[in-house]
């Protein structure tokens, strides 16, 4: 029986923190086939905020120069940074469903009660990688940070993943996992457009209006 994915992730984190430059493919291959995509996403989510070990300049340059690393980082940015991997985990930690988080956001941000369904739809698109994280307003990030119990800076970092100098440019991933991740990241293009025929309102402003 393959090892538990959480144990594999823990071993990966320990290896990273020890400065051993763990190979993502090697660790993902230890999991059962059904768990590999989720495990890879969890590793990327960890790397977005992981402290960088004391690598010398030559080692850092070599890691950043690996083409597959840049490719995975760029694909993640196109998909919406790390929101698709991170937001479900933060919700689970806070014991909230998407609907419950939407309802709580409506309350915290003082939105009309009839905006709950639209807020939930946007959260679902955010988790699917269907929103550009640059459109998320500061007010929305403050509300999510409060409800999910994380610093706002961490949420901003989730959207910035893939833009230089992204922390995830410091890990190695050989082609099999990277290609599967890239393929998954590319399938969301048809989710980028907003619902047709709807008037712009405060919910659109929160999720697509940017910092203003």
Quick: pLDDT tens for 66-107: 544 454 455 455 555 678 877 888 888 899 999 999 999 999
In 54-196, DSSP assigns E strands to none
Selected residue with higher pLDDT from 77 and 43: 43
The radius of gyration of the chain from alpha carbons, rounded to an integer in Å, stands at: 18
Distance in angstroms (rounded) separating the CA atoms of residues 177 and 37: 8
Q: Which residues pair with 23 in a beta bridge?
A: 172
More confident residue, 53 or 66: 53
pTM, entire model = 0.56
**Both tokens assigned to 106:** 């409506």
Between CA 167 and CA 157 the distance in angstroms is: 10
Phi, psi of 167 (to 5 degrees): -55, -30
The angle, 0 to 180 degrees and rounded to 10, between the axes of the packed helices 138-148 and 83-93 is 40
């Amino acid at each position: 029986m393959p090892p538990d994915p959480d144990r594999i992730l823990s071993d990966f984190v320990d290896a990273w923190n020890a400065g051993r430059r763990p190979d993502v493919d090697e660790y993902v291959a230890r999991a059962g086939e059904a768990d590999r995509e989720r495990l890879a996403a969890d590793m990327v989510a960890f790397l977005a905020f992981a402290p960088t070990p004391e690598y010398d300049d030559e080692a850092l340059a070599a890691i950043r120069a690996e083409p597959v690393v840049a490719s995975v980082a760029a694909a993640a940015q196109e998909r919406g940074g790390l929101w698709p991997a991170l937001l479900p985990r933060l919700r689970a930690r806070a014991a909230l469903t998407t609907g419950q988080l939407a309802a709580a956001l409506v309350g915290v941000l003082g939105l009309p009660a009839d905006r709950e369904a639209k807020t939930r739809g946007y959260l679902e698109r955010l988790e699917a990688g269907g929103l550009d994280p640059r459109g998320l307003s500061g007010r929305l990030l403050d509300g999510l940070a409060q409800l999910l119990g994380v610093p706002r800076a961490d949420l901003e970092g989730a959207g910035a993943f893939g833009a230089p100098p992204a922390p995830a440019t410091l890990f190695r991933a050989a082609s099999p996992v990277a290609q599967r991740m890239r393929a998954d990241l590319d399938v969301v293009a048809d989710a980028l457009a907003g619902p047709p025929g709807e008037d712009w309102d405060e919910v659109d402003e929160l999720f697509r209006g940017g910092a203003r």
